[in-house]
Structure 1
Amino acid sequence: MARMPSAERRRQLTEAAIRAMARDGVAKTTTRSIAAEAGVSLSVFHYCFDSKQALVESVITTLTDHSVSVVTRALRPRATLADTVRAGFQAYWDHVRAHPDEHMLTYELTQYALREPGFEHLARRQYELYGIAYTDLIQRLSQGRDLRLRVPATALARYLAAMTDGLTLNYLVLGDESAWADILDTVVTHVAGLVRAH
């Protein structure tokens, strides 16, 4: 087995955990199955993660990064603010459609963390990360534009996180892709309306 820096090995194991958890469920995924998925020994796993909490936190952070990174890349300035907002939401939606198991896993992780004694703070951390991610995206959206938010950035970030959360779960449950275009139009109009030029 090739040696690699511990940070890279942690990333490898985290991605393996995501695949295993998405396939088998959080509760059924063991450290042994994650190590096997990553092609490493169990001792390597325990060297990189000293607890299941540390692993779950790494999985939550990585799943959030997966979604945020595609939106961040899409948020380059476009002709109008609405076009830029639409591009960000479209990128997120494309990620949901391409990786539904990852998004389903985020909900399972939330429930798991809330029910598992001592893990509750990880569910809180998951939603704090969503708020931080949206706050960063709002700041990125404002760069180079003379904009004023109609609501505080933190309130808008939490609102967007809750709305995206609900829309994602709605799609995962109902599987109605055709409804997304109408929903996207409504979301873009609403979000753009919460921002105005100076």
Structure 2
Amino acid sequence: MPAPRNPGRTRGQILDAALGVLADRGHAGTTMQRVADAAGVDKALLHYYFTSKAGLLSAAVMHLGDRLLADVEAAVAGLDDPADVVEIGFGTMWDHVTADPRLHAVWLSLYAAAITDPVLAETVGAVRARYREMVRARLLAMVAAGWRSSLSDSALVMLVVASIDGFTVALLEDGRTPALDEAIAATQEMVRALIERP
């Protein structure tokens, strides 16, 4: 099969379609044919790019992670004041979650599937590691600017990542509620309070 004329755009189009199918059908209901139909391309093109469903799902996980992390990294780049980092970092992540909760349902379903799928586990693990490293890099920037955390960097990273994960599950289960907004604000305040000037 000849290579497509615009491989980057076509690959991105397929990955966007895969995320849509995953959101609608779940991990088990996502097939190469359904993704090809949603992308408006021949199924053979999916095999050209991804070889298998596992390869396609791994690429979709990376695609989703790249989008989210790039936006958050851009939003907090150069910030070293904890109040700004927490407010803008959390805010950007939360904007992603609330803009399309289905995509985060996809992420959580793939995260769960990765527990028993070694191919997905490798990709999901790589995205999670980048996520943690991004949070750690901001923490180190704050330390370099003279701020100190009362928690170890590993514990603070875990607190931030686990909070976002938990808030995402709560949003997917119950929708946006006043209690959820209050919990997010309290967590932001708690994280800010853990980082102070010596």
Same fold (TM over 0.5): yes
Corresponding residue of 1:3: 5
CA distance in 2, matches of 1:22, 1:51: 19
Give the whole-Å Cα distance in 1 for the aligned partners of 2:62 and 2:29. 20
Q: How has the CA–CA distance of structure 1 residues 83 and 121 changed in structure 2, closer, same or farther, with 3 Å as cutoff?
A: closer
Q: Give the alignment of 1:160-171 within 5 angstroms.
A: 160-171=160-171
Whichever residue aligns with residue 3 of structure 1, its letter is: R
The CA deviation at 1:80 is: 5.5
CA distance in 2, matches of 1:196, 1:65: 31
In 2, are the aligned partners of 1:18 and 1:102 still within 8 Å (CA)? Answer: yes
**For the structure 1 residues 177 and 87, does the alpha-carbon distance in structure 2 shift closer, same or farther, using more than 3 Å as the test?**
farther
Say whether the 8 Å CA contact 2:80–2:142 is kept in structure 1. no
Q: Distance in 2 between matches of 1:143 and 1:151?
A: 12
Count of residues in Structure 1 that have an aligned counterpart in Structure 2: 196
Counterpart code for 2:178 = S
Q: Which residue of 2 aligns with 1:109?
A: 110
1:2 Cα offset (Å): 5.8
Q: Trace 1:17-166 onto structure 2 (pairs within 5 A).
A: 17-75=18-76, 81-116=82-117, 119-139=120-140, 142=142, 145-166=145-166
Q: Over residues 39-64 of structure 1, what are the superposed CA-to-partner deviations in whole Å (9 max), with x where a residue is unaligned?
A: 22112111111233322222222222
Letter in 1 for 2:46: F
3-state DSSP class of the match of 1:114? Answer: coil
- Which runs of no fewer than 5 residues in structure 1 stay unpaired? none
What displacement does 1:160 show?
Answer: 1.3
Question: What is the CA deviation profile of residues 63-90 of structure 1, one whole-angstrom value per residue up to 9, with x for unaligned ones?
Answer: 2233323333432667953244112212
- Higher mean C-alpha displacement, 122-131 vs 26-35: 122-131
User: 1:134 touches 1:158 (CA, 8 Å); kept in 2?
Assistant: no
Q: 1:154 and 1:3 mapped to 2: Cα distance?
A: 45
Tell me if the contact between 1:71 and 1:92 (Cα under 8 Å) persists in the aligned partners: yes
Offset at 1:176?
A: 3.5
CA distance in 2, matches of 1:191, 1:178: 20
Point out where structure 2 has 5 or more consecutive residues left out of the alignment: none
More displaced 10-residue stretch of structure 1: 123-132 or 47-56: 123-132
In 2: Cα distance, 1:50 partner to 1:80 partner: 45
CA contact (8 A) 2:148 2:196 kept: yes
- My pick for the range that moved more, 149-158 or 101-110, is 149-158
| One-letter amino acid of the structure 2 residue matched with residue 182 of structure 1 | E
Q: Does the C-alpha gap of structure 1 residues 126 and 185 become closer, same or farther in structure 2, counting only changes over 3 Å?
A: same
Q: 1 or 2, which has the higher helix percentage?
A: 2
Provide Cα deviations, 1:80-112, integer angstroms capped at 9, x if missing partner: 532441122122222211110001111111222
1:55 to 1:135, Cα distance in 2 relative to 1, 3 A? farther
The corresponding residue for 2:182 is 182
**Cα gap change, 1:177/1:83 in structure 2, threshold over 3 Å: closer, same or farther?**
farther
Q: Distance in 2 between matches of 1:87 and 1:133?
A: 14
